[in-house]
Amino acid sequence: MQVRLLPTPEQSAALLTTLHVCNAAGSWLSEQMHAAGEFRKFDVQKRFYVQLRERFGLAAQPTIRVISKTVDAYTTLRANLTAGNYGRPESDRRRKVESRPIVFRPEAGQPFDARCLSWRLAEAGREGTVSIWSTAGRLRGVRIMGHPGHLALLRSRSIGETDLVNRDGVWTLHAVVDGSQAPHREPVHGFLGIDMGIVNLATTSDGDRMSGARLNRHRKRQQRLRRRLQAKKTSSSRRLLKKRRRKERRFAADVNHQISKRIVAEAERTGRGIAVEQLTGIRDRVRLRKPQRATLHSWSFAQLGQFLAYKAERAGIAFVRVDPAYTSQQCSSCGEIDKKNRRSQASYVCGRCGFVGHADHNAARNIATRGVACWGEVMRPHAAPTLAAS
């Protein structure tokens, strides 16, 4: 849950100093961890806890949170390296990432737990206060404001870790609460396959296509505006660039929310699971011409997959990721794999059985079939899958 923090100027200055000190401590700890090769939380805490407190004047619990934040950053880095998101082991990009310690921005978010931050929420409404630790002492009675539904969840459930974030002078608290989860249901009617792309953001195995024309037009317009403002090189143009820098991201996130909500509702209505492609590392594998690179790198397929995953989990729907190999070249009718079968971006004609259809729909049907097999391997590893593909 995200709520708005409304500190006074004095409280805002204290919070800003707190972020600077905590992130400086995290960067220093990162250098020590990288040099010593220590990345386990227990070992790092045992070796650097005392130095961290004495060097930066942090209290006990904030010191633990800085250690956890730094260790988690290296855990994420190792996961990305293992997944190949920084290229192959011999690539220059990967060697560059591995040779340098992680550095935190001065105003990067800082996690707090119940010992560092406590909530005082009214019985109803959209306001309340928090008490939060800072380097200037405990700040009590800091006002907060949020959506009534979000505050109702914060009142009714236990609150876990909370991140303090400062974005362009706006303070927010990102609190983690346990979400409601529907009972898990078996996909008795197979899987709904989802093929993700650029021209069509998502195509289902039922033949429904969610076009990306509106989003692509918006991105091209934002690109033209950025180019025009960057060419002016004035203070007002730089101010407008800073103001607009997250507009495209918010627009894309809204579109992905709408698409994922529609897909999950259809799967829930028909009693099916959801199957998507595992598209990890696609930006490193695919080689495109220069005019197409911006389009590929702005493609938010990972975000759409995440939205589908958590919405499906909340609704109790089975969700699997399948191998994407040859899904666009394989015939969903006879299983023939031939690169020539895909005549164009939208056209698929099987040279073996004569099947004709939309290329994205054909790929989505293949994904649905693989979803059945994948679910059978997960749930019944010693038995053949018994579900029927959609």
Topology annotation, domain 191-213+247-379: Nucleotidyltransferase; domain 5 (3.30.420)
383: confidence class by pLDDT, cuts 50, 70, 90: very low
How many residues can be counted in the chain? 390
200: confidence class by pLDDT, cuts 50, 70, 90: confident
CA–CA dist 174, 180 (Å, integer): 18
74, 41 Cβ separation under 8 angstroms: no
286: confidence class by pLDDT, cuts 50, 70, 90: low
Q: What is the pLDDT of residue 385?
A: 45
Domain ranges of the chain: 1-179, 191-213+247-379
Q: What is the pLDDT of residue 248?
A: 84
Q: CA geometry: angle at 90 spanning 85 and 93, to 5°? A: 50
- Say if residue 227's pLDDT is above 60: yes
Render pLDDT for 86-108 as a digit per residue (tens, 0 to 9).
888 888 989 999 999 999 999 99
Higher-confidence position of 185 and 27: 27
Strands of the 191-196 sheet, one edge to the other: 209-211, 200-204, 191-196, 273-277, 319-322
CA–CA dist 235, 240 (Å, integer): 9
Instruction: Fill in the DSSP letter of residue 330.
Output: B
Picking from 42-46, 160-164, 175-179, 288-292, which range would have the lowest pLDDT averaged per residue? 288-292
Beta-ladder partners of 118:
131
